[in-house]
Homo-oligomer: A and B are copies of this chain.
Amino acid sequence: MEPQRMAWNGWGDPARATPLPDSVTRLLRDLLGVRPAQTPPLRLDQVKVADPRLPGDALTALAQAVGDPYVRADAETRIRHTRGKSTPDLLRIRAGEVADAPDAVVLPADHDEVLAVLRICAERRIAVVPFGGGTSVVGGLAPRADGFTGVVALDLCRLDALVDLDPVSRTAVLQPGLRAPRAEELLRERGFTLGHYPQSYEWATIGGFAAARSSGQASAGYGRFDEMVQALTVATPEGTLELGRAPRSAAGPDLRQLVLGSEGAFGVITAVTVRVRPAPAVSAYEGWRFPSFDAGTAALRRIAQDGPLPTVLRLSDETETMVGLARPDRIGALQEDGCLVVAGYEGAEEEVAARRAAVARTLREAGGEPLGAEPGESWAHGRFSAPYLRDALLDVGATAETLETATFWSKIPALYAAVRDALTGALTEAGTPPLVMCHISHVYPAGASLYFTVVSAQGPDPVEHWRRAKRAANDAIIAAGGTISHHHGVGTDHRDWYAAEIGPLAVDLLRAVKRRVDPVGILNPGVLLP
């Protein structure tokens, strides 16, 4: 019933952890001054977690609601539900910091049990963190505990069914606790695909995709997750919302779009109806080289505006290309010139061939040089491995983190420069000049995303060290007119900048919504909204 567990102090499957090649470690030392940390890593049984504090009858009431085996307060379960997988999260848990571990973990089986848990917690003023894959990288699983009698993690892993598949409408009703690979497997058995492949794919859940407004690596072909969602069922302390009677409607505001991106602050998503597509017959990846990030950006813009679009479309800047981050098996080779574009195609054979030829024509006209399949296949092969790489970087004393934004095409160059300069400036000033890399991985007719990867030495207080750089990047994003997140979400880490982005009246609107569905304020307090 419960799927394979993620590493408690890192990413993914511990068996897949791989140390950095010595050559890379040397490079980090020589280039960035990275030095191994002195403290040996803690084992799980060395981490001390405080006694749970919930009010007296809470565990009994919760056990009545979901069944005894599904309320857990043991140390390991609580530690495994502590925060998410951002670099600060990992640095802190590696140091044994679990003061904000939930007091208990509750595993409901269905919508009604979720409703019951929310009622029990609202009555007792217990904060509730909806928990899917636990992959948040923005503090989305770190609610405020003060003012509450305790914190419960609501783990949705038992809501893991494909409830319905409508082959005529090409829609599927999925439960929120389904991990993406399992959802994909269930759909493929019936000839369909969801086509949603964020970097967190192997561990993240359907509910998390919806709550955090996720976007996958194949967004050019399959769309963002919010575009896939047709209907939602949401459990709130004040009852149930059932939203979405048609793909599109003019009956009032689109309330699905109010739940998508609400990050557990407005309710717990208990069913998601998504658009599905026939499983692709073929998939193909290829690489192209552009002389500069500007030239590559212009090419991507042309494809996004005039079509046709590949299924995957990415452009690495000069630094990312040089370092080989786009092709993880080549990292550290430092041999690439220019800027790498990866284009991927999925679909029916004939359709893919035609689309691929049309895109190739445009890329060539825009100054691209074809590199053949190898760089594309290499990217596809390593597409979910970067988080393992981060663990290895942390192991050798480096800080590695990512952040992303988006804006309109005409503002992309200034936003790119502003964020890069802010990160470089802040970390250099702190004595650890960084490597800042960037790619565009999601394109729209009117704009695109920018995804930054930063590597530097850790500094004496690694968490605070990174926090300062991140703050500089966030300030730069807001000042340059970008959005504070293109696909990671707001969580607690982006909350203040999010408030600046939408303005005080819009923040108040969201507060008004929250008050109506969650008058006690138990749902992920402090996440999304200040």
Contact = CB atoms under 8 A, between A and B. Distances in A.
Interface of A: 166, 168-171, 212-215, 224, 226, 230, 236, 238-243, 245-255, 257-263, 275, 277, 301, 305, 405-411, 442, 444-447, 449, 481-490, 494, 498, 501-503, 505-506, 508-513, 515-517, 528
Given A230-B408, A236-B505, A505-B240, A250 B513 contact: no
Contact of A444 (B239, B248, B528): B248
Contact of A490 (B252, B255, B498, B511): B252
B212 A246 contact: no
B252 A498 contact: yes
B243 A445 contact: no
Given A248-B215, A516-B509, A275 B501 contact: no
Contact of A243 (B224, B498, B506, B513): B506
Given A409-B169, A446-B169, A517-B505, A485 B247 contact: no
B261 A447 contact: no
B509 A513 contact: yes
20 contacts: A169-B411, A169-B447, A171-B408, A215-B248, A238-B505, A241-B505, A245-B481, A245-B483, A246-B407, A246-B449, A246-B486, A248-B406, A250-B489, A251-B484, A252-B261, A252-B498, A253-B261, A258-B258, A277-B305, A512-B515
Contacts of A410: 166, 168-169
Contacts of A528: 252
B490 A248 contact: no
Given A170-B445, A258-B258, 13 more contacts: A168-B301, A240-B505, A241-B505, A243-B502, A245-B483, A247-B406, A248-B486, A250-B486, A250-B489, A252-B510, A253-B260, A254-B254, A277-B445
Contacts of A498: 251-252
Contact of A447 (B247, B494, B505): B247
A53 B250 CA distance: 34
A260 B510 CA distance: 16
B248 A224 contact: yes
Nearest to A507: B252
A259 B246 CA distance: 19
Contacts of A501: 245, 251
B261 A251 contact: yes
A383 to B, nearest CB: 19
Contacts of A446: 169-171, 230, 247, 275
Contacts of A508: 516
A407 to B, nearest CB: 5
A248 B484 CA distance: 11
A512 B508 CA distance: 10
B249 A486 contact: yes
A512 B518 CA distance: 12
B260 A409 contact: no
Contacts of A242: 503
Contacts of A250: 212-215, 261, 483, 485-490
Given A212-B250, A248-B486, A251-B261, A239 B447 contact: no
Contacts of A484: 251
Given A240-B505, A254-B260, A509-B255, A442 B171 contact: no
Most chain B CB inside 10 Å of its own CB: which residue of A301, A444, A445, A486: A445
A512 B513 contact: yes
Contact of A485 (B243, B249, B258, B275): B249
Most chain B CB inside 10 Å of its own CB: which residue of A240, A449, A485, A506: A506
A409 B516 contact: no
A115 to B, nearest CB: 12
A458 to B, nearest CB: 28
Contacts of A513: 509, 512-513
A168 B445 CA distance: 10
A407 B246 CA distance: 4
Most chain B CB inside 10 Å of its own CB: which residue of A252, A262, A301, A508: A252
B245 A253 contact: no
A290 to B, nearest CB: 18
Nearest to A308: B308
A246 B447 contact: yes
Contacts of A405: 246
A501 B244 CA distance: 9
A309 to B, nearest CB: 12
Contacts of A483: 245-246, 249-251
Contacts of A260: 253-254
